[in-house]
Amino acid sequence: MQGLNNDEVQAMSRVEYEANGNKIHLTSSIVKKYLVSGDASKVTNEEVGVFLQLCKGQKLNPFLREAYLVKFGNKPASMIVGKDTFTKREAKNPESEGHEAGIIVVNLKKEIEKRSGTFYLKGKETLVGGWAKAYRKNKKFPTEITVTLDEYIGKKSDGSVNSNWSKRPATMIRKVALMQALREAYPEDFEGLYTAEEINIDDKELNEAPVNIEDEKNKEQEIEQPPKPVQKEQKQYIMQLGEQKRLIEGKGKEADISKLEEFANKNGASLRKLTYDSANELLKALEEYKQVIDVEPVNTEKQSPEEVTKENIENDEEDPF
pLDDT-based confidence at residue 245 (cuts at 50, 70, 90): confident
d(CA 272, CA 265): 11
* Helices assigned H by DSSP within the chain: 6-11, 28-30, 45-57, 85-92, 149-152, 163-167, 169-185, 187-190, 213-221, 232-244, 258-266, 276-288, 305-318
pLDDT at 1: 45
pLDDT at 78: 92
Q: Where are the domains of the chain?
A: 16-81+204-212, 84-194, 232-288
Rounded to an integer, the average pLDDT of 46-70 is: 93
d(CA 276, CA 230): 4
pLDDT at 125: 97
Q: Which residue has the higher pLDDT, 2 or 279?
A: 279
Percent of the chain with pLDDT over 70: 84
Across 25-29, 172-176, 194-198, which has the greatest mean pLDDT? 172-176
Question: In sequence order, what are the beta bridge partners of 134?
Answer: 99, 143
Rounded to an integer, the average pLDDT of 96-107 is: 97
Task: Report CA Rg, the chain.
Answer: 36
* pTM across the whole model: 0.63
Express each pLDDT in 144-186 by its tens digit.
999 999 999 999 888 899 988 999 999 999 999 999 999 999 9
